[in-house]
Amino acid sequence: MLTVKDLSISFYNQEDKTWFEAVHNVNFSLAKGKILGIVGESGSGKSVTSFSIMRLHDTKNTAINGEVDFEKINLLNLSPAAIRNYRGNKISMIFQEPMTSLNPVFTCGYQVQEAIILHQNTDKQTAKQQTINLFKEVQLPRPESIFDSYPHQLSGGQKQRVMIAMALSCNPELLIADEPTTALDVTVQKTILELLLRLKEERNMGMIFISHDLAVMSEIADDLLVMHKGQIVEQGAAKQLFENPQHPYTKGLLACRPSPQRLLKKLPVVADFLEKDQNVGLKHLLEINSYSDQEIQQRRDKLYAQKPLLQVKHLNTWYPIKNGLFGKPTEFIKAVNDISFEVFPGETLGLVGESGCGKTTLGRSILRLVEPTSGNIIFNDTELTTLNKTALTKMRRHVQIIFQDPYSSLNPRVTVGNAIMEPLEVHKVFTNDNERKAHVINLLEKVNLKAEHFNRYPHEFSGGQRQRIVIARALALQPKFIICDESVSALDVSVQAQVLNLLRELQEEFGLTYIFISHDLAVVKHISDRMIVMNKGKIEEEGFPEVIYHTPTAEYTKKLIAAIPGK
């Protein structure tokens, strides 16, 4: 149904008046009822290729050469009016970020209904009924009320399902899914993958599925293209590619995802396969980086012989949702509900669970960024819940947080060097700005960035680089304790491996203690000394990662483990 021949895409750079070729000579085809996976890191050209099929690029600054034949018609030769008959109608797309793809000022139902009215010339009432039926088909709860809900009232997984309903609203023959499960919980991800497979079977659609996660691809793709720096480096049947990858880049992508089956000191990264001697195989890398049982036991004996650095006792953080007589709250959301645990110096405590289970609220309650309702937080023999504002500010020098989204936690108008210097100025560390700047440059180099990055702004960096900047800022005050809140959830597997390796190196160098919050069990198992599984504000179970993974006791944990893709 679709054949792409010699596709090359270039973008014009206004600043230096040059053309940059983002995609070079790409060729592939897709049959009806089949799923083609396109995999590669951010910047490899995956999304750019898919956008060209629907002609979504800005025509003024983009040059596209080659052919995109859909049912024997070259889409690149069609007029803007003619391509509109295909876009959203015969060819549909699920975009990467559902929050920014949905208009915040219109209800979810209105946005899907609008597409049906536009392409199918139906009346409002029929379109509304079709929208509600689609919401049922994508298994949204309470379809009638979600029709009248705004995007901000839904969870990430629900918004993604609204986007899928919108993409399916005109019965497309080809569906392009661009990273539709990135940053979703494993359980929601599994539901969406199953949903897409079911809809593909029922409607006999062709599908292009774009992802940087090879584990997800192993669950869904029939055929696979591996893209690197705008070119296809390997393609073929998905099963064959997973079992016997040929290109070093494919081998690197497969190797750098944390595997729940093994415990490594250091994850392999793509560079290990691309830059080093090709004879250095995965087996050798795993052998030299694996922990022995004796090493694990020695580390645990040393960690747990110490006095705890942090003690959390019967902590509650409740949000009132209903008030009774005289404005007294009568109903609460119990985001953190009677939680107790300890963290030891130099330990990494993993905190895992789905979105909405209370992980982030717990992390923020410990720092008093969210005020706890009741309970005790004892850090380094100091009760944090009773500290006044001045004492709390002083304490925060020793306890830092790496937020989930590095882009929104950096000020776009402040250079990254000044963003890292700011806490040093607030806490009056060092005597002058020259000393502070030298310290910041040293930190940037520690997280594998360069001195010249000091004067650049956040938008000039990739997602992985921004994450490293935020890590450098958290390290600026030389804290004892860092809370990492989903700090690798939206990163490519290769960048994720680099950041996880960096966190471990920094822990060894500075004796750091971490609470590592994530919804990804494989990542938590890789980096944690102990693990806590949270659900609905409570602790389901806690223990050593290998024990929880291989012999889970709680039904909820079993469900989480069963949902890990490509196990």
Alpha-carbon distance 97 to 181, whole Å? 9
Taking only the tens place, the pLDDT of each residue in 530-566 is 999 999 999 999 999 999 999 999 999 999 888 888 7
- Structure confidence at residue 207 (pLDDT): 96
Which fold does the domain 2-253 belong to in CATH?
Rossmann fold (3.40.50)
Which residues of the chain are under the pLDDT cut of 50?
A: none
Q: Identify the pLDDT of residue 303.
A: 95
Element (H, E) at 484: strand 481-485
In sign, the C-alpha dihedral spanning 477, 480, 483, 484 is positive
Give the burial class of 131: count Cβ atoms within 10 A of its Cβ; 0-12 exposed, 13-18 middle, 19 or more buried.
buried
Laid out side by side, the sheet with 223-228 consists of 91-94, 174-178, 206-211, 35-39, 223-228, 231-237
* Cβ atoms within 10 Å, residue 479: 18
Closest by Cα among 462, 457, 522, 450 to 491: 462
Structural contact between residues 300 and 335, judged by C-beta atoms closer than 8 angstroms: no
pTM: 0.84
Nearest to 224 by CA among 481, 420, 484, 28: 28
Q: Crossing angle, helix 416-426 and helix 433-446, to 10 degrees?
A: 120
Distance, in Å, from the CA atom of 226 to the CA atom of 235, rounded to the nearest integer, reads 6
Q: Which of 113, 118, 121 shows the shortest CA–CA distance to 148?
A: 113
| Token representation of residue 195 | 């949903």
Count how many Cα atoms sit within 13 Å of the Cα of residue 485 in the half-sphere of its side chain. 21
Under a CB-based contact definition with an 8 Å cutoff, are residues 35 and 218 in contact?
no
- Cα separation, 65 vs 7, in Å, equals 6
The per-residue pLDDT for range 98-142, each reduced to its tens digit, is 767 889 999 999 999 998 998 888 999 999 999 999 998 888 888
Q: For 308, which DSSP code?
A: P
Between CA 556 and CA 101 the distance in angstroms is: 32
Q: 3-state DSSP call for residue 353? A: coil
Instruction: Sketch the domain layout of the chain as residue ranges.
Output: 2-253, 405-478
**Residues 6+ away with beta carbon under 8 Å from 62:** 9, 10, 11, 12
pLDDT of residue 277: 53
CA diameter of the chain: 75
Contact between 33 and 205 under an 8 Å Cβ cutoff? The reply is yes
Contact yes or no for 170/116 (Cβ under 8 A): yes
Three-class SS of residue 320? strand
Which two three-digit tokens encode residue 36?
């083609």
